[in-house]
Amino acid sequence: MTVALVGGLDRLARHYTALADGHENLTIKVYPRYKPGLADRIASADGVVLCTDCISHKAAREVYRLARANDVDLVCSHRSSVSAVRASIVALTGSCGCASPCEGCSGGCGCSGSG
């Protein structure tokens, strides 16, 4: 599964991509800003996480429109912290990366991503 992360902070890009380590067959591609050609990248992704606190309203509307037009799952996060992005990925994939699917990583499954 490929997840496109649009928005977020440049300095946290390596931490965002490291979130895929706990998931099997998950790739996170980070796009901190809206750029030309992002439409093709969103269309080829299986899901999109949109961090709305660090992106313009116009860009957020365009990403939302592209996700709907290409029938791609979209999860919006109003924060761009690593834990907020982790929660958005859990909501998108339905799994926190541990052996069993769970409703979120609240520590009940015993995985390392709890908290």
Give tens-digit pLDDT for 30-74. Answer: 998 888 888 888 889 999 999 999 888 998 999 999 999 999 999
Q: What are phi and psi of 81, to 5 degrees?
A: -70, 160
Identify whether 102 is part of a domain.
no
- Residue 65 domain boundaries: 2-93
Q: How many domains does the chain have?
A: 1
CATH number at residue 35: 3.40.50.2300
CA–CA gap between residue 55 and residue 1 (Å, rounded) = 24
How far apart, in whole angstroms, are the C-alpha atoms of residue 31 and residue 49?
10
Distance CA 24, CA 57 (A): 33
Answer yes or no: is 74 within a domain. Answer: yes
**In a domain? residue 113:** no
Q: Is residue 47 part of a domain?
A: yes
Mean pLDDT of 3-7: 92
